[in-house]
Amino acid sequence: MKVAIIGAGITGLTTAHALLKEFPTWEVHIYEKSPVLNEVGAGIMLHPNALKVLDYLGVGETIRDAGQQLAKAVITRADLKPIKKSDIDLLTDKDGNTIIGIHRARLQSILADSLPQQRIHLNSELLDVIFNESSVDLKFSTSKGTFDFVLAADGIHSQARSFILPNSKKRYSGQTCWRGISTLKLPEHLHHAAFEAWGNKLRFGIAPISDTEIYWFAVHSESAGGKDTKETLQQDLLDLFHEFNPIIRELIQSTPVQKILRNDISDLERIPVWHKNRMCLLGDAAHATTPNMGQGACQGIEDAFYIAQILLLESNPEKAFTLFEKKRREKVDMVVNTSWKIGKAAHQPVSQFFLRSAFKIIPQSLVKKQMETLYEVEGL
């Protein structure tokens, strides 16, 4: 089989690993439009569902070593005082896996370096797709080829998706996010957990991603398309978060301003189908979510695992894609919808009040059960 994967992001690279593990003789090519693998200067949280897959693919240990284990995630007030003290580890699965915080560029390098380098084609933007009876012709900016099937993991702005559905839409959450990495030394009690501090229409997250690096994110309700003025950005963020714990302001101050990233937070409106003929969408291309549960990439990693498992059982790609979508829909819909609601509630004073009250009264055992369902990966 000759397979094309579009996009060398977390989903595309993990998908290559998953296919090569189950089908070592297949010719699996990855096409990435960037001239270099994107070294996004931010951190990412990998939850137990993703770690189980990465362990199965043989890269879990290296990823754990390159990141920081986070024993818990705590929602706090602006002063970093927990809204509720948790007495059980909600973010630990049955096997004792907990969250790993890691630099995105490090994660991407680990995934890419352990794949056959001659099959990763950089500078190769997908431009055109022609469906034949039992193959697909692809045209890239610098080459073309014919493949038995195509797995498109080219992100929320997916070009591949436009050949399946011309009219998909992104949905702006009303929130903008800044991200940075600081080398500030945190007090010991903050070093092995992730924190998210909630204020009025504002949130600030902190997650250590190595012994010396702290990833932070700052979220604010505002219109889409806003731009930063680099000269005043740090002061603007300090003004926004002036009522927050001083550590938060120190994290902003200690991050080089050129390295602070800004993104409007959007997800993808639910699309009616993920596949056509011999091409199937995976990861953000199929079901981009807002980041409020830290599950976007984790779900892409799950996609990689499930598509390979289903292809083991069903060798006809079109039938396999139908089975794949059936298997994955319910869980990704739940993640996208829950994440959207959390994001809305976290920024509205009334719903924030109800959410805080709910945190206090909902039994931890119930939340733990829901997290176990989220972390379940069939067969692992």
Site string for ligand FAD, 117-156 (x = CB under 6 A): --------xx--------------------------xxx-
Considering only CA atoms, which of 198, 201, 156, 182 is closest in space to residue 260?
182
CB-nearer residue toward ligand FAD: 247 or 285: 285
Are 37 and 362 in contact, with CB atoms under 8 Å apart?
Answer: no
Does the protein bind ligand FAD through residue 199 (CB under 6 A)? no
Query: How far apart are alpha carbons 184 and 255 in whole angstroms?
Result: 9
Among the residue ranges 10-18, 59-67, 269-277, 350-358, the one whose residues contact ligand FAD (CB under 6 A): 10-18
Is 292 one of the binding residues for ligand FAD (CB under 6 A)? no
**CA 114 – CA 91 distance, rounded (Å):** 29
Selected from 20, 91, 298, 332, the binder of ligand FAD by CB under 6 A is: 298
Residue 342 pairs in a beta bridge with: none
Q: C-beta of 233: minimal distance to ligand FAD in Å?
A: 16
Contact with ligand FAD (CB under 6 A) among 3, 4, 5, 12: 12
Cα–Cα distance for residue pair 69/62, rounded to 1 Å: 13
- Report which DSSP code applies to 259: G
Quick check: 371 binds ligand FAD (CB under 6 A)? no
Residues contacting ligand FAD: total by CB under 6 A: 34
Coarse DSSP helix, strand, coil percentages of the chain, rounded to the nearest 5 percent: 40, 25, 35
Residue 181 φ/ψ, nearest 5 degrees: -130, 125
Nearer to ligand FAD (CB atom), residue 317 or residue 343: 343
The answer to whether 220 contacts ligand FAD (rule: CB under 6 A) is no
Nearer Cβ to ligand FAD, position 41 or 365? 41
Nearer to ligand FAD, 100 or 188 (CB): 100
Q: Are 147 and 136 in contact (CB under 8 A)?
A: yes
- Shorter beta-carbon distance to ligand FAD: residue 32 or 213: 32
SS (H, E, C) 51-104: HHHHHHCCCHHHHHHHCEEECEEEEEECCCCECCCCCCCCCCCCCCCCEEEEEH
Q: Is 233 exposed, middle or buried (0-12, 13-18, 19+ CB in 10 A)?
A: middle
Could you tell me which residues come within 8 angstroms of residue 332 by beta carbon, excluding any fewer than 6 positions away?
A: 286, 287, 289, 299
7 scored as a contact of ligand FAD (CB under 6 A): yes
How many whole angstroms separate alpha carbon 265 and alpha carbon 262?
A: 9
Instruction: Tell me the closest approach of the beta carbon of residue 365 to ligand FAD, in angstroms.
Output: 25
Q: Which of 6, 209, 247, 281 binds ligand FAD (CB under 6 A)?
A: 6
Beta bridge partners of 86: none
Q: With contact defined as beta carbons under 8 Å apart, do 168 and 154 qualify?
A: no
| Among positions 31, 147, 305, 306, the unique one binding ligand FAD when judged by CB under 6 A | 31
Q: Which of 37, 27, 33 is CA-nearest to residue 4?
A: 27
Q: Judged by CB under 6 A, which of 16, 111, 297, 308 binds ligand FAD? A: 297
44 lies in the binding site for ligand FAD (CB under 6 A): yes
When asked if residue 267 is in the footprint of ligand FAD (CB under 6 A), the reply is no
Residue closer to ligand FAD (CB basis): 294 or 317: 294
Among 196, 284, 317, 352, indicate the residue that binds ligand FAD (CB under 6 A): 284
Nearer to ligand FAD, 6 or 355 (CB): 6
Site membership for ligand FAD, residue 67 (CB under 6 A): no
User: Hey, which residues between 158 and 177 contact ligand FAD (CB under 6 A)?
Assistant: 159, 177
Please select the residue that binds ligand FAD; options are 3, 4, 5, 11, rule is CB under 6 A: 11
- Minimum Å gap between C-beta 2 and ligand FAD is 17
Helices (H), the chain: 10-22, 48-56, 60-66, 104-113, 230-240, 246-253, 284-287, 296-313, 317-346, 349-361, 364-374
By the criterion CB under 6 A, which residues form the site for ligand FAD? Answer: 6-12, 31-34, 38, 44-45, 125-126, 153-155, 159, 177, 179, 217, 263, 265, 283-284, 291, 294-298, 300
